[in-house]
Amino acid sequence: MPAPKSAYNIPTKIGKFDTHIFVVWVDNEAGVLARVVGLFSGRGYNIESLAVAEVDATKNISRITIVTTGTPQVIDQIKLQLKKLVPVHKVADFKREDKKVIFKEMALLKIVAQKKKIEKCLKECKKFNPVILDKTNKSVVVQITALRREIDKMSKKLKPFGLTSTSRTGAIAMTRGAEIFK
Amino acid sequence: MSKLYTGAEIVFKCLEDQEVEYIFGYPGGAVLPIYDELKNHSSIKHILVRHEQGAGHAAEGYARSSGKPGIVLVTSGPGATNVVTALTDAYMDSIPLVCISGQVPTHLIGTDAFQECDTTGITRPCTKHNWLVKDIKDLSKVMHEAFKVATTGRPGPVLIDIPKDIQFAKTNYTKFKKEKKLNGKTHNKFSQNEIDQLIDLISKAKKPVVYTGGGVINSGPQASETLKEFVRLIGFPITSTLQGLGAFPGDDNQFIGMLGMHGTYEANNAMHDCDLLINIGARFDDRITGKIDEFSPKSKKVHIDIDPSSINKIIKVDLAIVGDVNEVIKSAIKKINKKQNGLKNSNKQRISKWWEQISKWRTKDSLGFVNSDKEIKPQYAVKRLYELTKNQDTFITTEVGQHQMWAAQHYKFNKPNRWMTSGGLGTMGYGLPAAVGVQIAHPDKLVIDIAGEASVLMTIQEMSTAVQYNLPIKIFILNNQYMGMVRQWQELLHEKNYSESYSEALPDFVKLAEAYGCKGIKADNPNELDEKIKEMIDFKGPVIFDCHVDPNENCFPMIPSGKPHNQMILGPNDKEEVKITGKGKSLV
């Protein structure tokens, strides 16, 4: 490939990528999600999953949970840039491997198959707190809660058994123990 | 019951409470209620520009030269989109702007109404924050918060989008009380421990250098005084970024010139070889660092900045002090004076060898050029302009390109807020409207826009504004009939294929000046230059000065792309010129 004639520096070696989970407390106002998401897209950061909802109606606070990957330097930047946004109150950042934090994602799985196959599916789901939300002769809708990776695995595994549709919430996080993140 | 005010009245009440004197703007359908209210507020003067981008840059010039926020007022749709360049420019260079834009009435938002656009959506990434006011009750709170966000912490532009029905709607107005407490987004909580570490590093360094940026200017004129005291106390050499020029006197012996892509040989070599680098209010921009991997490889790095996200963004530092520049250096000076009074003398001895080395580098005279008695050399023109204006308090703005670099290299600034240039965004067409804003803020001072013929044509319409308000700005055009910096890159990197960089069909600038109702002067001979510059300075009114210069002159010294600081290309006087080869060609 011929050397591109661009105007800037050569990219330096890229460090190791880590997966981090950011929890961001924001004012629940118009455009706040666009600000957060726009920051990610504008600066070229990844978003692997996103979960957002109001958590405090009196104080008007929403909680955004973002799973992202990046080099330690990028992760640091994401945190500092998020903190600069006016409607952002606080930002917590956890490594995926962090033992002190619980990460969970919910998924709804629709399986269309014969009874036998459905049974098999439900058996596979057992580990992940399955709740059957709807059942007919030919189908079942089951809710599971698990880690991201586990749901990834499950949806792969259940494909041959008639899994036709998956809906996922994106990961959410909570610290263990009595401590509250300040 | 207290009196009810309309949204338009509240806008002006807030502006009055914020002690705003000037608004730069352009009327249109969606801001008419605000324009209608203008006549009732004599303390606020409106400056009518000829294009909304001009309003933005004029407000920037006003803000940078006065230290107060610049106010912009535009209409919806095209009014708002035209100001986007100026907002982005202000965002990149950390200039406080408050932009008020009209919007279609709330019930029409989202219907593709006439002159509707998603203003807050478009300006979200180029403002510190923006607001769409959908309820008249929020208006005054939003207005005052906007000023606070724009002016605190690392300053920047904000935008308030006000639908037309909100401008008509009525509500109460409670008088604004200025808070002393800073909001949660500013950071000024550095510890004494950090100051101690800084002083420890200072007292051990053998080859130190201080590298300052626009943050010193933004911290206020007091910060420049403090910086001077600090640098004289520790005796270190000091270099500055493009934006930081003027914070430390340009003709002082401790000042080793601007650094970076077109910085001096001594400044860039000092950056490369130093063992202690103290960054004060600068952000390791890519025009400064050159090749990141080989940036100042042997140094301990200290970074003082008010914006925590600037720290470790590009260059990892050993000591970060997050805080207002003025406060941080003041507290360092205090500590030195109290505890380490001997520092001054011991420093002098320890770094005397370093100063010898710097003197050696200085003998290269990297800003030198081959002068001519037939053609005006652009560097010579800037030098003469400096010599003939340095006896008075002169404000310089520039456009973007070669002339900007020559101005930065050859014009020496001794005070902050005298140098207005678009550094981060590099906006051609910045200088003329910026000069308008500067002259508004300083009606009795000499304001010169050092321009290029290509840049100035981008916003030439603002000459009308200058004439209307009788602003005696001087547009000093270094006319080389090329987009000079583009031509230079094409010469050095693209085999002299001067693709589209020739300024074809240029206007006659003297006649153009006359058409606008101001004075035009043309110079093409070095012998007559001084006399004509004096004529320009003495003329009581706006002047366009068409200075014809050597079209083939390149801007040196230069760090070629992909090279570290110690591998510069020097000018034609230097024999061991480094050729740009191979990989370096792909970079700028």
Does B583 contact A3 at a Cβ distance shorter than 8 Å? yes
Give the DSSP letter string of A55-97. EETTTTEEEEEEEEEE-HHHHHHHHHHHHHSTTEEEEEEEETT
Q: Does B312 touch chain A (CB under 8 A)?
A: yes
pLDDT in tens, B70-81: 999 999 999 999
Helices marked H in B459-564 — which ranges?
463-468, 484-493, 509-516, 526-538
pLDDT greater than 50 at residue B86: yes
Answer yes or no: are the C-beta atoms of B522 and B546 closer than 8 Å.
yes
pLDDT in tens, B38-69: 999 999 999 999 999 999 999 999 999 999 99
Does A30 contact B586 at a Cβ distance shorter than 8 Å? no
Report residue A1's pLDDT band, with 50, 70 and 90 as the boundaries.
Answer: very low
Count contacts between A and B (CB, < 8 Å).
68
pLDDT greater than 90 at residue B390: yes
CA distance B92 to chain A (A): 14
Q: Which of A57, A32, A89 is nearest to B132 (CA)?
A: A32
pLDDT in tens, B107-130: 999 999 999 999 999 999 999 999
Does B124 contact A34 at a Cβ distance shorter than 8 Å? yes
pLDDT score for B89: 98
User: Kind and range of the H or E element at B36?
Assistant: helix B32-37
Does A6 contact B307 at a Cβ distance shorter than 8 Å? no
Report residue B177's pLDDT band, with 50, 70 and 90 as the boundaries.
Answer: confident
**Mutual orientation of helices A32-42 and A72-84 as an angle, nearest 10°?**
150
pLDDT score for B587: 52
Q: Out of B132, B286, B309, whose CB is closest to A77?
A: B309
pLDDT in tens, B548-571: 999 999 999 998 777 888 888 887
Does B292 contact A12 at a Cβ distance shorter than 8 Å? yes
Report residue A140's pLDDT band, with 50, 70 and 90 as the boundaries.
Answer: very high
**Residue B174 or B466, more confident:** B466
Average pLDDT value for residue range B23-36: 97
pLDDT score for A12: 65
Average pLDDT value for residue range B163-174: 94
Report residue B443's pLDDT band, with 50, 70 and 90 as the boundaries.
Answer: very high
**Which residues make beta-bridge pairs with B544?**
B475, B520
**Residue B348 or A170, more confident:** A170
Average pLDDT for chain A: 91
pLDDT score for B374: 94
pLDDT score for A8: 65
Q: Which residues of B are identified as catalytic?
A: 52, 114-115, 164, 485
pLDDT greater than 90 at residue B420: yes
pLDDT score for A2: 47
As a whole-number percent, the residues of chain A with pLDDT over 70 amount to 93
Average pLDDT value for residue range B86-97: 98
Q: Out of A12, A42, A84, whose CB is closest to B309?
A: A84
In degrees, rounded to 5, the angle at the alpha carbon of residue B467 between the alpha carbons of residues B461 and B472 is 110
Tokens of B433: 């409207």
pLDDT greater than 90 at residue A10: no
Does B587 contact A10 at a Cβ distance shorter than 8 Å? yes
pLDDT score for B359: 96
Total Cβ atoms within 10 A of residue A109: 24
Lay out the sheet containing B419-420: strands in order across: B419-420, B394-398, B446-452, B474-479, B543-548, B519-523
pLDDT in tens, A62-109: 999 999 999 999 999 999 999 999 999 999 999 999 999 999 999 999
pLDDT greater than 90 at residue B582: no
pLDDT score for B494: 87
pLDDT score for A7: 54
Residue with tokens 């570490």: B197
User: Kind and range of the H or E element at B79?
Assistant: helix B78-82
Q: Does A73 touch chain B (CB under 8 A)?
A: yes
Does B587 contact A73 at a Cβ distance shorter than 8 Å? no
Q: Does B25 touch chain A (CB under 8 A)?
A: no
Q: Out of B291, B309, B561, whose CB is closest to A81?
A: B309
CA distance B332 to B311: 20
As a whole-number percent, the residues of chain B with pLDDT over 90 amount to 87
Separation of first and last alpha carbons in chain A: 51
Q: Does A77 touch chain B (CB under 8 A)?
A: yes
Does B124 contact A9 at a Cβ distance shorter than 8 Å? no
Q: Which of B561, B563, B567, B581 to mutate to test the interface with A (most CBs of A within 10 A)?
A: B561
Q: Does B308 touch chain A (CB under 8 A)?
A: yes
> Which residues 79-138 of A have a C-beta within 8 angstroms of B?
80-81, 83-86
Average pLDDT value for residue range B15-35: 97
pLDDT score for B185: 59
Q: Out of B124, B149, B586, whose CB is closest to A38?
A: B124
Answer yes or no: are the C-beta atoms of B317 and B304 closer than 8 Å.
no
pLDDT greater than 70 at residue A13: no
pLDDT in tens, B201-248: 999 999 999 999 999 999 999 999 999 999 999 999 999 999 999 999
Which residues in chain A are closer than 8 Å to B159, comparing Cβ atoms? none
Tokens of B205: 């360094």
Q: Out of B134, B149, B289, whose CB is closest to A86?
A: B149
Q: What is the ipTM of this complex?
A: 0.89
pLDDT score for B569: 86
Q: Does B507 touch chain A (CB under 8 A)?
A: no
Does B494 contact A5 at a Cβ distance shorter than 8 Å? yes
Average pLDDT for chain B: 93
What pTM does this model have?
0.94
Report residue A5's pLDDT band, with 50, 70 and 90 as the boundaries.
Answer: low
pLDDT score for A4: 46
Q: Does A37 touch chain B (CB under 8 A)?
A: no
Average pLDDT value for residue range B413-427: 97
Report residue B321's pLDDT band, with 50, 70 and 90 as the boundaries.
Answer: very high
